[in-house]
């Protein structure tokens, strides 16, 4: 006797012909703010490329880019910290190059 295989329900919804990642939704305790973002064509293409690579909307890609960039220190602080790291890391090499 042949066993009957039942299809398990898809976690992506009832339409199995088009499988897409579930959308991210905001929880009710998050306050949403609306704004208009004016971009040049080049920056719009960059944002679209970022959104495609992250598999999210352009709005979500912009929000993630802000979250990544916002905590960065000011440029002078960044340069000073980076220089200190590089000098510490390559001090021996720079000394050898100075006397080569």
Q: Does the pLDDT at position 24 exceed 80? A: no
Query: DSSP secondary structure string, the chain?
Result: -PPPPPPPPPTT-S--SS--PPPP---TTSPP--------HHHHHHHHHHHHHHTS-HHHHHHHHHHHHTTSPPHHHHHHHHHHHHHHHHHHHHHHHHT-
Using one digit for the tens of pLDDT, what is the confidence trace for 85-94? Answer: 999 999 999 8
pTM for the whole structure: 0.44
Summary mean pLDDT of the chain: 79
Q: What are the pLDDT digits (tens) for 35-60?
A: 898 999 999 999 999 999 999 999 99
Question: 10-22: per-residue pLDDT in tens?
Answer: 555 544 444 455 5
């Amino acid at each position: 006797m042949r066993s009957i295989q039942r299809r398990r329900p898809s976690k992506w919804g009832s339409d199995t012909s088009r499988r897409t990642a579930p959308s991210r939704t905001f929880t009710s305790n998050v306050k949403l703010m609306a704004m208009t973002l004016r971009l040049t064509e080049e920056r719009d293409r960059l944002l679209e490329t970022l959104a495609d690579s992250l598999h999210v909307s352009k709005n979500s890609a912009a929000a993630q880019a802000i979250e990544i960039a916002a905590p960065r220190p000011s440029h002078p602080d960044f340069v000073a910290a980076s220089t200190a790291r590089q000098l510490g890391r390559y001090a021996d090499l720079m000394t050898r190059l100075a006397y080569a």
